[in-house]
Amino acid sequence: MPFPLSISKVSKMRNQALILLCIVVFGVIGTCHGGSLRKKYYKKTCPNAEEIIKKATEEHVANDPTLPARFLRMHFHDCFVRGCDGSVLLNSTTNNSAEKDAIPNLTIAGFDVIDDIKAEVEKKCPNVVSCADVLALAARDAVSFKFQRPLWEVLTGRRDGRVSRVSEAMANLPSPFSNFTTLVRNFANQGLNVHDLVVLSGGHTIGVGHCNAFSNRLYNFTGRGDQDPSLNPTYAAFLKTQCRNLTDNTTFVPMDPGSVFTFDNNYYVTVKQNKGLFQSDAALLTNKGSRNIVNELLDPKKFFTEFAQSMKRMGAINVLTGNEGEIRKQCFVVN
C-alpha cells in the first residue's frame, strides 16, 4: 500500500535517507542537493543584503498585491530549469531564445520588479549578491509580507547561471495539463518527491490561471467536445461564464476561488471539492498516497510547516555555488 505513513514520519525518514545518501556518495553533506548554501552567506560581504531585499520587496508588494503569486511562480520556474540559478530572469538575445519566452513563462510578470530590487542591492554592495538569491529571497519576503514574519528559511550563496534556453523550459516545467504520473516524474527529475509535489501545489492558493490552461476541461476534454467529469459541475458552469471558448488566452480567474490574495491552505479544501482549476490540481486526487497528503494538509498548521520545508528543498535544486557561474550586475543579461 503506497504512502501509509503520516507526513511527519515520511519527512523524517526521507531526510535521514538523504543525509545517508550524501555521506555515502559525496563524503560530506554540504556537496549534496543544495551545495554550500548557508544562513547569512553575505554577513561579511554585504551585511544588510537580506534587509535591503526585504524592504524593497515589501514596498513593491504594498503597491501591487499580485506580486507574491508572481514571484513564487517565478522562483518555482527558475528552480525547475537548470536549478535555482536565476536563468529565468535572462532576456533572449539575437542568437538565443531564453526561458522567459517559453510558453509557460509568457504569463509571468514582475521581472522588472526583480531588476529594481537587484539595483537597490547593487547600490550598497556592487557585484556581491546574485540574482538567484535576490529572487529566492524576494519570493519568500513577498509571500510573507502580510504575515510580518518569514514563512520559510532561505539559505543563500547561489551563483547566477549564464545559460537560459527556451527548449529546456518547455522540457522541464510541469504542465497544468499533466496527469499524476507525469507530475511525479517532473518532480523526481528535480530530486523532489510526491510529498513535495502535493505541498508545493499549495502555492496555487494565490494567483490566477489563464483560460487556455484549463478550458479544455470545459469544452473538449477528450477531443469530443466534452467536459472533464472530475470537475465540479457547478464550478465548471461558473468557469464557462468566464472562459467562453477554447481559444481565449487573455481571460484569467483565481486559482483558488475566494483566496486569490490570501496565502493559506484553502487550496486543499478546493481540491477536495473537485474545484482544482488545472488538470494537474485534480491529479492529486487520483493517487491514494497523494490523496492522503491532501487530507493531512487540511490542517493549516501542518500546511505551513510542510510548505516551509518543501520550499527550502526546492530552493536548493542544482544550485551553483563557490566559483561556479557568476554574480550578474543586471539580472536580465549575463556579464
Cβ 180 vs Cβ 287: under 8 Å: yes
Q: Is 83 annotated as a binding residue?
A: yes
Q: Is 150 annotated as a binding residue?
A: no
Q: Is 203 annotated as a binding residue?
A: no
Longest dimension (CA), the chain: 62
Q: Is 305 annotated as a binding residue?
A: no
Q: Is 85 annotated as a binding residue?
A: yes
Q: Is 81 annotated as a binding residue?
A: yes
Q: Is 204 annotated as a binding residue?
A: yes
Q: Is 60 annotated as a binding residue?
A: no
Q: Output the nine-digit C-alpha cell for 271.
A: 481540491
Q: Is 154 annotated as a binding residue?
A: no
Residues tagged active-site: 77
Binding residues for substrate: 174
Binding residues for Ca(2+): 78, 81, 83, 85, 87, 99, 205, 256, 264
Binding residues for heme b: 204
Binding residues: 78, 81, 83, 85, 87, 99, 174, 204-205, 256, 264
